[in-house]
Amino acid sequence: MKEIKNMGKLESFWIENTEKTNYPVLEEGLSVDVAILGAGIAGITSALFLKEAGLSVALIEAGKVIKDVTANTTAKVTAAHNVIYSNLESHFGKDGSRIYAEANQAAIDKIESLIKERNIDCDFKRLQCYVYSENANDIDKLKKEAKSAADAGLEASYTESSPLPFDIAGAVRYENQAEFHPRKYLLNLIKSIPGEGSYIFENTRAHEVKEGDINEISTDKGPIKAKNVIIATHFPIYDPSHLFAKMYPSMSYALGLYINEPFPEGMYISTEPTFTYRSTPSDKGELIIASGANHKVGHEPDTIAFYKKLENHARDHFNVKSIDYHWSTQDNITMDKVPYIGKAESKSKGVYVATGFMKWGMTNGTVAAMILSDLILGKNNPWSSFFDPSRSKPVLESTKEFIGTNVSVAKELLSGRISRPKSMKPSELQNGEGKILNVDGKKVAAYKDKDGKVYAVSSVCVHLGCQVNWNNAEKTWDCPCHGSRYRHDGKVIHPPALRNLKEYNDLEK
């Protein structure tokens, strides 16, 4: 049985060294000005801005606040989103590229100003970010990117040197970027939300939104009425515009490791394949956060191999002393590489969505909060039409991506239906093994834990019916179509699915 060895705890460093939260569960119906679904950076920052503007808010989280994607990021607070400005310029023109740069750079400034105002101790630091390649074939691409980024208004320039302890072919160097500890930052912001008619509820899962002059949100604990609703649940739990068909979820892996020499000051991200490095203070000294080895969620049968790939990259480039943490996360990649932030559909009156942050959620999530709070407060926002989910772009390239994404979903649906898994009982699995099995003609997602306890659930994702796949590193069932994820026992942990996989209890007879 394959296992992860010598990679420390399976937990994000950001979660491990910060306090746990204990907000109440919603117990009865409630009415507020704004209901915000999802307590990551976009939801929390929106809730703060709206409460400070005098509205009552209810922040609803299906699990615990700041535990999902936001707590599993590398937390680079930057507008240097790998190679993006040359692409934005060709899709949206120089104006589009400028708006994206301006919004994301403004998000860094907004985060910094909140940290200063509130005196938050969250290891925030301004520093340079390098988008680099070790491959000489990428030089022209990086030169073009440096020019597009500078034309978009960022302090960006092409260079062939960097502080990294290995040779690079070229890089775009961005000045004035930043890094921080995302949970230390958000645990401070979130404290200002409850009180004076505003609330935070944990372990309260929103199921549906019924639009009207006053919107009604049904949850597993009780109803909420609100004039405005923000859906910030990563994959939208209410999606009248079918955004799920216009993005795909991509998984990334992270390691928290120590090296035998000082880490070169800065943040670094390679072009293709993408690997990224930054450092952060820890009790044991400077911890390096390495990330990369991306793939589409649910598409790889051996996810342990991706941790290994990341480890190999880190060991090839740094003198690694120990690996103390490993974790993974996923984010949604949109067709035209721009997040969807705005009305859930063009005719929605007070329902808004924020998704598709392209793995740059620290700034894009803050941009979402700035845009959505302005829209709800009736203020003009100079970026809102560019990020609007119903924007008339994409152009040709994005259309190709759209078709590719949906052909891949159709293939997954079909292959799940025609696949012929091995005929065996779940109890015949090895300890620690998870597999789709054929049990008396029924397709079963079965797992036997290390102590021999068997879990058997339906293999059919409750979102739209694709077949889930086993993730051997995290011990989860992952859906290859739109990235729903379930625990080994079938309990849903990640939308768009909102319900658990059906349990099978009588398969051994």
Shortest reach from residue 461's CB to ligand FES, in Å = 3
What's the burial of 206, exposed, middle or buried (CB within 10 Å: 0-12/13-18/19+)? Answer: buried
**Residue 57 CA to chain centroid, in angstroms?**
23
Report in angstroms how near the CB of residue 458 gets to ligand FES at its nearest. Answer: 12
Rounded CA-CA distance 13/120 in Å is: 19
Per-residue contact flags (x/-) with ligand FES for residues 274 to 293, judged by CB under 6 A: --------------------
Residues recorded for the chain: 509
- Helix (H, G, I), strand (E, B), or coil: what is residue 434? strand
CA dihedral 290, 318, 168, 295 (to 10 degrees): -30
Nearest approach in angstroms of CB 239 to ligand FES is 11
Between the alpha carbon of residue 256 and those of residues 110, 186, 473, the distances in Å are 27, 20, 16
Q: Indicate the residue among 40 and 483 with the shorter CB distance to ligand FES.
A: 483
Of 372 and 497, the one with the shorter C-beta distance to ligand FES is 497
- Smallest separation (angstroms) from ligand FES to the CB of 161: 45
Of the pair 199, 486, the CB lying nearest ligand FES is at 486
Site for ligand FES in 20-49 (CB under 6 A): none
When the beta carbons of 242 and 420 are compared against ligand FES, the nearer one is 242
Q: Judged by CB, which is closer to ligand FES: 81, or 494?
A: 494
For residue 423, the number of C-alpha atoms closer than 13 Å in the C-beta half-sphere is: 2
Binders of ligand FES: how many residues, by CB under 6 A? Answer: 12
Q: Interface residues for ligand FES in 439-498 (CB under 6 A)?
A: 461, 463-466, 479, 481-484, 496-497
Q: How far is the CB of 58 from ligand FES (least distance, A)?
A: 27
- Judged by beta carbon, residue 242 or residue 509, the one nearer ligand FES is 242
Q: Which of residues 69-98 bind ligand FES (CB under 6 A)?
A: none
DSSP for 266-334? SEEEESSS-EEEEEEEETTEEEEEEEEEEEETT--S-THHHHHHHHHHHHHHS-EEEEEEEEEEEEEEE
| Beta bridge partners of residue 434, listed in sequence order | 447
Q: Please name the amino acid found at residue 27.
A: E
Task: Tell me how far apart the alpha carbons of residues 506 and 509 are, in angstroms, rounded to a whole number.
Answer: 6
Smallest separation (angstroms) from ligand FES to the CB of 332: 12
CA distance 455 to 433: 11
Residue 278 vs 485, nearer CB to ligand FES: 485
Which run of H or E residues covers position 354? strand 351-355
Q: How far is the CB of 187 from ligand FES (least distance, A)?
A: 30
Tokens for 433, please give them: 């093994």
Question: In 3D, which of 82, 84, 90 has the Cα closest to residue 393?
Answer: 90
Smallest separation (angstroms) from ligand FES to the CB of 354: 19
Give the nearest distance from C-beta 421 to ligand FES in angstroms: 18
Q: Which of residues 224 and 436 has its CB atom nearest to ligand FES in the complex? A: 436
Q: Report the residue number, 214 or 410, with the smaller CB distance to ligand FES.
A: 410
Residues β-bridged to residue 34: 57, 228
The answer to whether 457 and 502 are in contact (CB under 8 A) is yes
Compute the distance between CA of residue 250 and CA of residue 184 in angstroms, rounded to an integer. Answer: 26
Bond from prior residue into 163 cis (ω within 30 degrees of 0) = no
Between residues 109 and 503, which has the closer beta carbon with respect to ligand FES?
Answer: 503
Nearest-approach distance from CB 427 to ligand FES, in angstroms: 27
In the complex, which residues of this chain contact ligand FES (CB under 6 A)? Answer: 461, 463-466, 479, 481-484, 496-497
